[in-house]
Structure 1
Amino acid sequence: MKWTQVSIEEAEQMLENHDVLLLDMRDHLSYLAGHHRRAIHLNDMNLKALLKHTARSVPVLIYCYHGHRSQDMAQLFSDFGFTSCYSLKGGYEAWYPEFCMAERELSDELIEWQLWNHFDPENLDHRADNNETALMRLCREGNADLALELVEAGATLQLINEDGNNALWMAVQSGNELLVEALLRAGTPIDQQNDNGATVLMLAMTMDMPVMVRLLLASGANTELTTVDGFRAEDAAVSKRVLNQLKGWNSYQPQQSRAA
């Protein structure tokens, strides 16, 4: 696999896609003095975790001081199986004068929540315990308003925690169907499999949530994925009502296809 060098203009176009993981590999003091608001500070402490717990399909854009060391880091991510790796030409020094990303200002309520919960308001993808981001925490709490404000501001949707779960997993856990719908519309991966191979559909089956199961099926959830132990979504059903949702959907799909 090969990394790609991109210009400032190309980088800004890439960042219109909320899924891009932006990494700043300068020293800590330089990062604190100024950085792109979506950038995660890449260092020896979190490099291993990022390589292990970030989905390989997530595009990774890296910048350093002048655009040299970031090339080696982009190659490293590529060697670890990441399919889209980019190094910023000219680095932060070339980009800084044009740092006028038209991103939405965060509300006082969201900033207060971030500070209270020890998240950095200037880093939308800042990690806390268990590699959890602010978006994951808000989804776990079922706080749709602040979670979706973070999504609109540019929080990365494809990040996962130490267990391999993304924000959608937490939203399903909360039982907030409107939040789940909004995350799916925004492009959050529906078939992300965690370290055990479980998906959000399996989670909803386990939690006995027939409405959520129907929502996930209608949104394209894959019913054939298996856990590391070989279990599928139907094996996770804890009641007939969720199992009937799944079986009813599966039996309807072929008829729908023949009708088409």
Structure 2
Amino acid sequence: MSEFKRIPPEQAQALREQGAVVVDIRDPQTYAALHIAGSTHLDNHSISEFIRNADLDAPLVVVCYHGNSSQNAAAYLTSQGFSDVYSMDGGFELWRTTYPAETAEGSAE
């Protein structure tokens, strides 16, 4: 079984530009206020469907507030069969200061 890798925002951005899936596990209200452009909101209600429909071999970057909770979520997704999982160190808080133009507003779909 593979393990997830911890990466800085710069590496997450490079993966994102190459088509990696970015998932945000922060609460829905915070996600709606501001999130990484093109990211998908995941919570306990949507994760099962996400796993069922996902390409388990596609690169997957997990984002939370500061990079702590995303490690647990990345470990869980790895245990569910994802083979290329990353937890972004610094979380969305570091992302928004590093890439302010790469954020978007709006609620989860």
TM-score computed with the length of structure 1 as normaliser:
0.38
Does structure 1 residue 3 correspond to structure 2 residue 4? yes
Inter-partner Cα distance in structure 1 for 2:92 and 2:4: 18
Q: CA deviation at 1:122?
A: 5.8
Q: Aligned residue pairs: how many?
A: 105
Structure 2, unpaired ranges of 5+? none
- 1:97-108 equivalence runs, <5 A: 97-99=97-99, 100-101=101-102
Q: Secondary structure at the match of 2:35?
A: coil
Report if the CA contact (8 A) 1:37-1:122 is conserved: no
8 Å Cα contact 2:31-2:106 kept in structure 1: no
Identity of aligned residues (%): 26
Query: What is the rounded CA distance, in whole Å, between the counterparts of 1:49 and 1:75 in structure 2?
Result: 18
Q: What is the letter of the counterpart of residue 13 of structure 1?
A: A
Instruction: Using the TM superposition, give the Cα deviation of residue 41 of structure 1 relative to its aligned residue in structure 2, in angstroms.
Output: 0.8
CA apart distance, 1:33 = 0.8
Q: Is the 8 A contact 1:38 1:122 kept in 2?
A: no
TM-score (norm 2): 0.88
- Aligned-pair distance for 1:63? 0.6
Q: Which has the higher contact order (CA 8 A, sep 6+)?
A: 2
Q: Which amino acid aligns with 1:47?
A: I
Q: Call closer, same or farther: CA 1:122–1:58 in 2, change over 3 Å.
A: farther
Q: Distance in 2 between matches of 1:5 and 1:64?
A: 13
What is residue 93 of structure 1 aligned with on the other side?
93
Contact conserved, 1:21 with 1:60, CA < 8 A, in 2?
yes
Say which SS state the counterpart of residue 70 (structure 1) adopts.
helix
Contact 1:61 1:85 in 2 (8 A): yes
* Match in the other structure for 1:156: none
Question: Which residue pairs with 2:17 in the alignment?
Answer: 16
Amino acid at match of 1:38: G
The AA in structure 2 aligned to 1:77 is L
The whole-number CA distance in structure 1 between the counterparts of 2:106 and 2:21 is 15
Structure of larger gyration radius? 1
Give the aligned partner of residue 43 of structure 2: 43
The residue identity in structure 2 corresponding to 1:91 is: G
User: Following superposition, which runs of at least 4 residues in structure 1 exceed 4 angstroms of deviation?
Assistant: none
Query: SS in structure 2 opposite 1:44?
Result: coil
SS at match of 1:51: helix
Question: Is contact 1:62-1:87 (8 Å) kept?
Answer: yes
| Deviation (angstroms), 1:82 | 0.7
SS of corresponding position for 2:62: strand
How far off its partner does 1:28 sit?
0.8
Amino acid at match of 1:35: H
Q: Which has the higher helix share?
A: 1
Larger strand proportion of the pair: 2
Task: Tell me how far apart the structure 1 counterparts of residues 56 and 25 of structure 2 sit (CA, whole Å).
Answer: 19
C-alpha root-mean-square deviation of aligned residues, in Å? 1.8
**Partners of 1:11 and 1:30 in 2: CA distance:** 20
